[in-house]
Amino acid sequence: MTDDLLEENTIALPEGYQTLNWFQGFGRQIGPLYERIGDDGHYTRAFLVQEHHTNGMRNCHGGMLMAFADMAFGHAITMSVHRYWVTVRLMTDFLSGAKIGEWVEGTGEIVGVEDDFFTVKGRIWCGDRTIMSGTGVFKALGERPSK
């Protein structure tokens, strides 16, 4: 085990997943993070629970799940209108936990838009088990540069 969170990732990723290019700032602290985009444009974000994600009971820390929900739910705005966004409100229900070695996935769906405010419904899960559900309100900002 190393303390270098940027060490090369050697896990076998589930089909279709790629590593997110977010290795600085907060992304460095909570990563590595992954994303899969289907042929229909629907996205799923994910992470493998590792030691640096855990609490004192060796389960995924609730703060990690909240941070992941924020970026998994909010990404719906990026996918829809290709703009930066900030979180106005994030409300979640913790329904279960995730242990070291479990693959956590999440996504969001826009359910309402008013001016530049987007309401998103989201879900976080491990396999068939929902571990968190929630809603968020996000404010869209400036356009993201093209890749």
What is the rounded CA–CA span in Å between residue 97 and residue 76? 24
Residue in the block written with tokens 């899960």? 125
**Residue 34: pLDDT above 60?**
yes
| Residue range 18-143, CATH number | 3.10.129.10
Quick check: bond before 32 cis, omega within 30? yes
Instruction: Give the pTM.
Output: 0.89
Taking only the tens place, the pLDDT of each residue in 97-141 is 999 999 999 999 999 999 999 999 999 999 999 999 999 999 999
Write down the pLDDT at residue 12: 86
From edge to edge, which strands make up the β-sheet containing 83-94? 18-19, 34-37, 43-48, 103-114, 117-126, 129-143, 83-94
Grade residue 29 by pLDDT with cuts at 50, 70 and 90. confident
Question: Domain spans of the chain?
Answer: 18-143
Vertex 57, ends 89 and 27: CA angle to 5°?
Answer: 45
Tokens (6 digits) for 115: 């001016």
Residue in the block written with tokens 């590595």? 32
Mean predicted confidence (pLDDT) in 30-54 = 92
Write down the pLDDT at residue 121: 98
